[in-house]
Structure 1
Amino acid sequence: MIQKIETKEGCLSGFWLKIIAIVTMLIDHLGYTVFPQQVWMRYVGRIAFPIFCYLITEGFVHTKNVKKYSLRLLMFALISEIPYDLAFHRKVFYWEQQNVFFTLLLGLLCLIIIKENIQLVVKVLGVVSLIFAAGAFGTDYGGAGVLLIIIFYLFKDNSIKRIIAFFVVNSIILIRLFQFSYLWETNLIFEFFIQDYAILSLLPIELYNGERGFRMKWSFYLFYPIHLLLIYGIILLI
């Protein structure tokens, strides 16, 4: 089934944005866990997260039931946590870092607050609290990831402002990585340099035509924990 949401200039539907994000995420995760010497896989992987952030804003704008949308993200955040910890930390529970669904959920909650008809000071306090919560609980990409979702939403109708804001947020991520005192002694220095390649995600985002394309409502949600379990299985075999 193909459903049209809003026509824009571009050649990529939401379906293809999801495919690009899923494929590049898989390449990134395999590069991080199974093929760490294949540097190009981490470069390619930088494309995934910003696209997912952008898709969260599109989902928020067009969803008929934001409560169900939020609960779906929460459900799969909980489902994915053990597979995430196994794949990346070789532990059933690793409390210092949480999977990306938590980041996406907190970003969505920020958008809900922004849209609510409440006092500006309450909005600011709510959004800032959620951004700091992402950092405090160690969600993937932390507060900067939540902020990226916010700027995609605020500048959804202005490509120039969106691109400028993206560079600002990406710089925040770089600064955050650089603040680690043991940066030069670990692979975090590698993470620092590859983060620049996140700008490549702007190309498919700018080519988005506003059409939903083929529906894959549950496919990504299921793919995320399943591919992490498969990666963990591969790790056990090698």
Structure 2
Amino acid sequence: MAMKGYAEHGEGNDSTEQIGFAGARRRRRGRGLTTFGLKMIGGFFLLLSAASTTLVPLLFGSDTNDMGSLTAMVLCEVVSWCAVPIYAWLLVRGYGRTHSRVIYGTELFVLALVCEVPYDMATSGRVFDLGSQNPVFGLFVAFVVLALLDWIAERYQGAVRWVFSVAVALIGLLWDLLLRVGLRQHLMSLGAVTLGFVLIFALMRKHENTMMLTAGLFGAVMMIAPGFGVLFTHFHNGRLGYRHAWDKWVFYALYPVLLLVCAVAA
């Protein structure tokens, strides 16, 4: 699974509005996970996703009649879905902090395009495959939905605002489903699930406990694994944790590089 449009332009100190009161307490105590730590954990899950269809069959065999090999592939794939709420949360956070939403959205779209060929190679063994689009497109769709919701909120109020907002969310969902964004095992649409998490984190961000409980329940319904991923976001301490200004670009490159390496190795 995967996804890297998470560069957080203008990252600074958190407020309780953005991370919740529990997050503010963790920040003061210096405990919890930094943004850098969250991305490292997310990167591990991305590796599992890329390896599930490439390295795991190489190591354990690609015979789906072999229960050991099949179990290893399915386990890596399912566990990798823990990354979905992590990157959805980072997207919402980055969206609220970016200095330029145009640049932020452009970076996401370019990254999605860059990831597509490595994703097709890793998932289908072909350079071009329309059976599934890489999950970064799911982040881009969610970004567009957030931008449109803000645009609607600035211009409309009351019932009209809610009707337009629901319509935009449904259109985003349809794009994810029709384009097969992040479709895995013909069961899980990572694009649709990503959009669900993004809406929960964006609309309920002022109420951390309720937000995390709702996200956890949503993740549990979506094949259980994403629910565990929500736990990592709950322990974010409000700090960036980067050592260098260019670290964010390393994380941008991480997903396509992992996909390409795993595809070539297989």
**TM-score, with normalisation over the residues of structure 1?**
0.81
Of 7, 12, 16, 1:4 maps to 12
> In the alignment, is the contact (CA less than 8 A) between 1:144 and 1:172 conserved in 2?
no
| From 40, 43, 50, the counterpart of 1:22 | 43
Pairing of 1:101-116 with structure 2 (within 5 A): 101-116=136-151
Contact 1:103 1:146 (C-alpha < 8 Å) held by counterparts: yes
SS at match of 1:94: coil
Give the distance between the partners of 1:6 and 1:55, measured in 2 at CA.
14
Amino acid at match of 2:230: L
Q: Distance in 2 between matches of 1:34 and 1:110?
A: 35
For residue 137 of structure 1, the aligned residue among 168, 179, 187 is 179
Indicate the residue corresponding to 1:205 in structure 2: 233
> Greater CA deviation, 223-232 or 151-160?
151-160
Structure 2 counterpart of 1:221, which letter? Y
Superposed displacement of residue 225, structure 1: 1.0
CA distance in 2, matches of 1:35, 1:209: 34
Unaligned stretches of 5+ residues in structure 1: 174-194
Counterpart of 1:183 in structure 2 is: none
Pairing partner for 2:56 from 7, 17, 35: 35
From the superposition, tell whether residues 28 and 79 of structure 1 become closer, same or farther in structure 2 (CA, over 3 Å). Answer: closer
CA deviation after TM superposition for structure 1 residue 211, in Å: 1.5
Q: 1:74 to 1:85 in 2, by over 3 A?
A: same
Q: Distance in 1 between matches of 2:219 and 2:227?
A: 8
CA distance in 1, matches of 2:177, 2:52: 25
Quote how far apart the aligned CAs of 1:69 are: 0.4
Cα displacement string for residues 70-128 of structure 1 (whole angstroms, at most 9, x for unaligned residues): 00000011111011000001111111211011000011111112222133133332222
Does the aligned pair in 1 maintain the 2:218–2:227 contact within 8 Å?
Answer: no
Q: 1:150 aligns with which of 199, 218, 239?
A: 199
Question: How far apart in 2 are the matches of 1:129 and 1:28?
Answer: 27
Residue 201 of structure 2 aligns to a residue in which SS? helix
For residue 5 of structure 1, report the CA deviation from its aligned partner.
2.6
Letter in 2 for 1:130: G
Report the Cα distance in structure 1 between the residues aligned to 2:211 and 2:125, rounded to whole angstroms: 37
Change (3 A) 1:54 1:76: same
Separation in structure 2 between the aligned mates of residue 143 and residue 27 of structure 1, nearest angstrom: 20
Q: Alignment partner of 1:4: what SS?
A: coil
Root-mean-square deviation (CA, aligned residues, Å) is 2.1
2:127 to 92, 95, 120: 92
**Residue 222 of structure 1: which of 250, 253, 260 is its match?**
253
Runs of 4+ in 1 over 6 A off after TM superposition: none
Contact 1:113 1:127 in 2 (8 A): no
CA offsets 1:3-31 (integer angstroms, 9 cap, x no match): 63316233211111111101122123213
What does residue range 40-55 of structure 1 map to in structure 2 within 5 Å? Answer: 40-55=75-90
Total equivalences in the alignment: 213
8 A Cα contact 2:95 2:143, kept in partner: yes
| Unaligned runs of at least 5 residues, structure 2 | 1-9, 16-23, 27-31, 58-68, 183-189
In the TM superposition, what is the alpha-carbon distance from 1:209 to its structure 2 partner? 1.2
Listed one character per residue, the Cα deviations across residues 121-174 of structure 1 (whole Å, up to 9, x for unaligned) are 33332222112111110111132321211111112232332233224533563x
Q: Which residue of 2 aligns with 1:71?
A: 106
| Secondary structure class of the residue paired with 2:241 | strand
